[in-house]
């Protein structure tokens, strides 16, 4: 009876999922969190981060981050207008900051708040490399990946409750065993592949945005090759990672470049 109740609870929860189609991806999202709920918290966290870290301003590098960020923003706007979604970005509050850090990283919070760490600049090398990074990170925000990950984590927790209810009549040892199986299975079999799919999706959208912005998407491959060289020997097996392996990512990018160029051509941007 308990197993049946747990199953009914999980299925009922699934039926109540809010699935809206994202105009950037054309897919229905697993999303329990609206932008009106997520953005204010995101903006507040971003403001706190900037207060607690050293923001670089007035330098050539800082100007480059701002310039590339604006071009990616305009590219996103052009693309959304072209598909009849001009209002999609109305609640975004774009901001681009260069922050002093040795970390080789960059990120974009929901709502368009972007940070580039100075540690990644030797690898980006130029505007095209920076556009590769910022296009990718902005794409996470446009595709609502943050909200989707939060939603998936909530669903994973609901599943854990279901397992607990379903095994409640068993010994404590067996209950722990089933929870462990569920934890490993849901992480390796669902959550990590879910995250890797987001990375691939952001690569695809990012290539399109950088191309519309006027940056040759062929140059994205060089950036990721430099990233691969920088992290050589430090990667873990792909199935245990939140990101595709370097080899998989580069192979995917090469396959996606022609489509990005074709889309850019519709906006009057051409590459050899």
**Residues with catalytic function:** 137
Helices (H), the chain: 2-15, 35-52, 60-82, 121-124, 127-142, 145-166, 172-186, 192-212, 218-230, 246-265
Burial of 270 (0-12, 13-18, 19+ CB in 10 A): exposed
Cβ-contact 89, 77 below 8 angstroms: yes
Contacts of 2 (CB under 8 A, 6+ apart): 165, 166, 168, 169
Q: Token pair for residue 61?
A: 């590098």
CA-angle at 121, arms to 92 and 101, nearest 5°? 80
How many Å from the N-terminal Cα to the C-terminal Cα in the chain?
A: 66
Contacts of 246 (CB under 8 A, 6+ apart): 224, 227, 228, 231, 235
Cβ-contact 133, 71 below 8 angstroms: no
Cβ-contact 240, 188 below 8 angstroms: yes
Q: Token pair for residue 241?
A: 């990672």
């Amino acid at each position: 009876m308990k197993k049946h109740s747990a199953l009914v609870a999980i299925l009922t929860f699934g039926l109540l999922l809010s699935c809206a189609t994202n105009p950037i991806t054309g897919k229905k999202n697993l999303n329990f969190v609206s932008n009106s709920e997520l953005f204010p918290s995101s903006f507040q966290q971003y403001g706190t981060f900037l207060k607690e870290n050293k923001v670089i301003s007035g330098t050539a590098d800082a100007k480059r981050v701002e310039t590339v960020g604006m071009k990616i923003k305009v590219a996103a706007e052009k693309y959304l207008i072209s598909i009849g979604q001009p209002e999609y970005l109305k609640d975004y509050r774009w901001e681009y900051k260069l922050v002093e850090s040795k970390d080789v990283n960059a990120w974009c919070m929901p709502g368009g708040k972007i940070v580039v760490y100075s540690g990644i600049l030797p690898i980006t090398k130029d505007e095209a490399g920076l556009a590769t990074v910022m296009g990718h990170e902005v794409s996470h925000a446009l595709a609502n990946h943050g909200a989707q990950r939060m939603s998936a984590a909530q669903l994973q927790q609901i599943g854990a409750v279901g397992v607990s209810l379903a095994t409640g009549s068993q010994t404590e040892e067996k209950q722990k065993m089933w929870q462990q199986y569920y934890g490993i299975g849901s992480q390796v079999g669902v959550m990590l592949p879910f995250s890797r799919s987001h990375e691939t999706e952001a690569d695809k959208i990012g290539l399109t945005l950088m191309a519309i912005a006027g940056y040759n998407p062929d140059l994205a491959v060089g950036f990721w090759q430099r990233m691969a060289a920088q992290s050589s020997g430090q990667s873990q097996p792909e199935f245990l990672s939140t990101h595709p392996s370097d080899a998989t990512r580069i192979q995917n990018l090469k396959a996606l470049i022609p489509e990005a160029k074709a889309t850019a051509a519709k906006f009057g941007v051409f590459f050899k």
